Structure 1
């Protein structure tokens, strides 16, 4: 796909060369903002530069898209492990909620650089002498800049909590640079305000050739981002009552408080939910809206891997990458390809973000999203697929090498190091609009009352629209979901958005991150124990539901027939040729009859599961739970050697502020959240 930002942008971005000081902000250069924004073409080039900066490794090039997805009930930050899970110097440890102010892998500097240059663009366009005389060009550019500044602060407040916030560029005398943390509710108030303005300024996708691609921010994405920000503004977040003692936030009574830290939300949270409900309703009902659901879920991923536009405009906005230049989408997560295969000496895909048998079995067997999202298959150096059976290392499948372009395949074949795929990162899809509408309107009026702007569409109908794509029109499964409508939304968003860097933040704002991670961990342990029923989201499985052996066959000489494995029950007999037999996890995780060891699967796998995500709470005790498992006492004995917990704070998901940024703040910022 042609990358829109490769057009002069890097030549002139008016003025910011890093001084590597507090917040990594910058000072004006010789090319003044007034000069740049007096010309429509130069103003456009400046805004295009903002798109280019989105591909920074510490923005969407890798961190926000891949490394910082973290442990949830459906994703893991790399493979589950008993070593390194509590590291305070890596993304893997941070994904398990273990943090440190000395962890440079979770530094905020690139996002603050981005906030600064976005603000410079906003200021420059507002003050431009041609803002009104060339409003057809300049006002949409202002809308784009407002959205990009909003994105910067939205990510800062979600990942670091209360952070320094300003709406003006840094002054040359640095008088507005050394600022302390701003209350979370204040930051969200101003982000919402900016996005409400941006919605009015931006055109719909496709209304002109200038805004003819999802690689450009348009009205639909601004509306969707406004809804998402509003849901976060009205959602739960960890608060520092020591720093903001006068806050009137409502406390979450389901999450313990300690040391002045608590999980809260604003008293007017329903006002934000109304903003989300109204804007999504308006979008869904608009006759000018060019966005639709792609009728094929898997087509979304085939198209984006092939660098092709979605024909239904399902993707509201994609961060554009340059093949061979930047972006690790697909190369660090997705369908796994071994090195020294027909695809080249380099491997592809991998374990930066993986999933589990829990997520796989949470899907209905008829849900087409299951096999589009997850795969047990990988491609070997023997140039054929094999099937894995590791229940805590299931690959995501939305990014597959055989869907990529011929140009990328040619580069990959001769590559001696990892190369950028050029696959765009989708920041929002149209299904999110349906599900955000369903969630927000349900909270305000219930599942069967339409919003005034929704042209009669109820939350239940919105949910079922998304499910209709997953199961096919007319399927009886469309209406089979949890009778608690909020729980149905929580589940549906899991099935719809796996590995899209959405789940962790959803669970945080719902106040469910700890609960859902623990549900997943305990269910996985019971699946491996294979002695009693287990609940997986809205489904209950018996031990007989998980086969002892899997049989699969090939559809040709390279690829396994994805419909062939018997995932849900043992076959009455070995089907023989052409099927291949594979021991499934009830077999591989059973206690060996001879020579059981502390490193045997039946002990070490539950340990790998139970230590995962344990930086979130002060301490963990699995004694009672393990007492319900067949080999629980042996697991408990080995588990005792593994430290778990952060020692002081409940629900500690925010990253620590890096120590150099604290030092360079000249006392304006102190560590928070127990760091």
Structure 2
């Protein structure tokens, strides 16, 4: 009987084997590459995945309670200090980074490629979603092109030449790729941004706010071209490159239907209740508690994003003159009185009122200053429902591109093309008008105006993470970063160094070269 039972059992299995459906090994508890790209919802999820990398620590960061990459970028400059060396930002500021340095050096490289891989996969697979209408598919491709361009722009801006990969991730085919010349990477970035601009709508509304638009692609193109025209990458001062940058910025200024302009209140521009206003061209979206940022926490602390005395001294008086000018009206005994309003709108200082209390020298003990841009905190005591945010998170968006930057890009590039002209001063004075500062002196030559524009960029965008790229592209980092940084009272904190033969580029991370020896290292590492 036992033998018969075994035979019958075997026969049953053989009969079942004739059922082809039982040979289907596709899992039903998770998606695979073959089953995912089937519905419009899946396509949208794939695109959201391309966006989500923007919040990673290596890109703009901020989605965890101890991570504020976008704000810490400022600490790589004379503007601010990262005393704890979070994500190795202070290691870079001191000029002691190596290929084995972790934190941002490793994270930026890997996270940007993570975003690129997702964009490449999306672009390769979205056509398989037959239920997606052509107009929607086209628009979504435009967003992916923009994001891929942004990730590659960031990579080449910090590391120089990097492998250019336009296909979905494939370890076999891509593991040993060498670095592509930086100029070829930039050329592809411009192709992607032009493709995006030709596809995307001028603006999104409703639930689609925050997605890349035609204006975002055009604005990022202007930034790319401005960097390419600057001294670091344009040592021969090819005026044609400056003209291309000026024309690209002007195209954004003239973009029909965009509605771009200067928001009325400089401090309020960075508050949550005014997000997606007319000045914002592209930002990284945060929504608490689903995907909040740590910006409020970082700004309330005193040691990871602390403004420095050099930044405070940079702001002019309300007469439009530097504090070193005897005619400025600067009072050393009352140093924050009658200064450019952007100082108080950007950071706190001893004697200022912050979160309902007067600031003393120990409130922000490292430098005496505390950053408040991209924080909801200001003079008023926080409401009880926001005084102790869960896990230190908030949901203020981080602005990547705004219209004031376009005006500044145009002014800088056009000055290099033609020298001072009426269009330059018109653009610059729109920015000054918002904060009630005097207009620019028009009786200046090209060289003097260049220095004024660079000063204005530093003040207007302080705390926004742009100054590090500015001092590198201007090739002034070797001067301003070889200095001793000081707190509000002039006490020395540390001495920084910058090797002009090495530090304009970050090292290719050691771990990347361990798995791919074809990646040549940057000079000096």
**Same fold (TM > 0.5):** yes
Describe the superposition over 1:50-69 as per-residue Cα deviations: whole angstroms up to 9, x where unpaired.
22222122222246403333
Partner of 1:20: none
Partner of 1:250: none
User: Which residue, 368, 371, 387 being the options, matches 1:396?
Assistant: 371
Partner of 1:329: 295
Partner of 1:77: 81
User: Which residue, 197, 201, 216 being the options, matches 2:211?
Assistant: 216
| Contact 2:77/2:93 (<8 A) preserved | no
| Contact 1:327/1:421 (<8 A) preserved | yes
Describe the superposition over 1:298-334 as per-residue Cα deviations: whole angstroms up to 9, x where unpaired.
1112x33x4x4344x211112112324442223213x
Partner of 1:533: none
Q: In structure 2, do the counterparts of structure 1 residues 448 and 481 end up closer, same or farther at CA, with 3 Å as the change threshold?
A: closer
Describe the superposition over 1:599-624 as per-residue Cα deviations: whole angstroms up to 9, x where unpaired.
xxxxxx34x35x1x31x12xxxxxxx
Mapping for residues 200-211 of structure 1, pairs under 5 Å: 200-206=198-204, 208-209=205-206, 211=208
**TM-score, normalised with respect to structure 1:** 0.62
| Contact 2:49/2:118 (<8 A) preserved | no
Rounded Cα–Cα distance in structure 1 between residues aligned with 2:366 and 2:378? 26
Per-residue deviation at 1:503?
0.3
Rounded Cα–Cα distance in structure 1 between residues aligned with 2:345 and 2:231? 31
Per-residue deviation at 1:30?
5.9
Describe the superposition over 1:100-142 as per-residue Cα deviations: whole angstroms up to 9, x where unpaired.
22222121212211111112222334x45769x8332122211
> Is there any run of 5+ residues in structure 1 with no aligned partner, and where?
1-28, 238-263, 334-347, 450-457, 529-583, 590-604, 618-648
Whether 2:95 is the aligned partner of 1:97: answer: yes
Whether 2:165 is the aligned partner of 1:171: answer: no
Per-residue deviation at 1:478?
4.5
Partner of 1:370: 343
Higher RCO structure (Cα 8 Å, ≥6 apart): 2
Higher helix residue share: 2
Q: In structure 2, do the counterparts of structure 1 residues 77 and 156 end up closer, same or farther at CA, with 3 Å as the change threshold?
A: farther
Rounded Cα–Cα distance in structure 2 between residues aligned with 1:63 and 1:669? 29
Rounded Cα–Cα distance in structure 2 between residues aligned with 1:408 and 1:144? 38
Per-residue deviation at 1:36?
5.3
Per-residue deviation at 1:194?
1.0
Rounded Cα–Cα distance in structure 2 between residues aligned with 1:381 and 1:297? 17
User: Which residue, 480, 499, 509 being the options, matches 1:516?
Assistant: 480
Q: In structure 2, do the counterparts of structure 1 residues 104 and 63 end up closer, same or farther at CA, with 3 Å as the change threshold?
A: farther
Q: In structure 2, do the counterparts of structure 1 residues 154 and 672 end up closer, same or farther at CA, with 3 Å as the change threshold?
A: same
Whether 2:207 is the aligned partner of 1:357: answer: no
| Contact 1:160/1:655 (<8 A) preserved | yes
Q: In structure 2, the residue corresponding to 1:427 is in which secondary structure?
A: strand
| Contact 1:355/1:395 (<8 A) preserved | yes
Partner of 2:246: 277
Partner of 1:661: 512
Whether 2:359 is the aligned partner of 1:386: answer: yes
Mapping for residues 208-357 of structure 1, pairs under 5 Å: 208-209=205-206, 211=208, 213=209, 215-237=210-232, 264-265=233-234, 269-301=238-270, 303-304=271-272, 306=273, 308-311=274-277, 313-324=278-289, 325-333=291-299, 348-357=300-309
Partner of 2:6: none
| Contact 2:286/2:293 (<8 A) preserved | yes
Partner of 1:670: 520
Rounded Cα–Cα distance in structure 2 between residues aligned with 1:296 and 1:93? 36
Mapping for residues 272-671 of structure 1, pairs under 5 Å: 272-301=241-270, 303-304=271-272, 306=273, 308-311=274-277, 313-324=278-289, 325-333=291-299, 348-366=300-318, 367-377=340-350, 384-388=357-361, 392-402=367-377, 410=385, 413=388, 418-448=391-421, 458-471=423-436, 476-479=438-441, 484-518=448-482, 521=483, 585=489, 605-606=491-492, 608-609=493-494, 611=495, 613-614=496-497, 616-617=498-499, 650-665=501-516, 667-671=517-521
Rounded Cα–Cα distance in structure 1 between residues aligned with 2:356 and 2:266? 27
Whether 2:150 is the aligned partner of 1:151: answer: yes
Rounded Cα–Cα distance in structure 1 between residues aligned with 2:240 and 2:141? 26
Whether 2:70 is the aligned partner of 1:65: answer: yes
Q: In structure 2, the residue corresponding to 1:421 is in which secondary structure?
A: coil
Q: In structure 2, the residue corresponding to 1:276 is in which secondary structure?
A: helix
Rounded Cα–Cα distance in structure 2 between residues aligned with 1:362 and 1:60? 26
Rounded Cα–Cα distance in structure 2 between residues aligned with 1:118 and 1:219? 18
Per-residue deviation at 1:89?
8.6
Per-residue deviation at 1:491?
0.7
| Contact 1:150/1:191 (<8 A) preserved | yes
Per-residue deviation at 1:674?
1.4
Rounded Cα–Cα distance in structure 1 between residues aligned with 2:377 and 2:230? 40
| Contact 1:235/1:269 (<8 A) preserved | no
Rounded Cα–Cα distance in structure 2 between residues aligned with 1:270 and 1:386? 48
Per-residue deviation at 1:195?
0.6
Identify the range of structure 1 (365-374 vs 386-395) with the bigger mean alpha-carbon deviation: 386-395
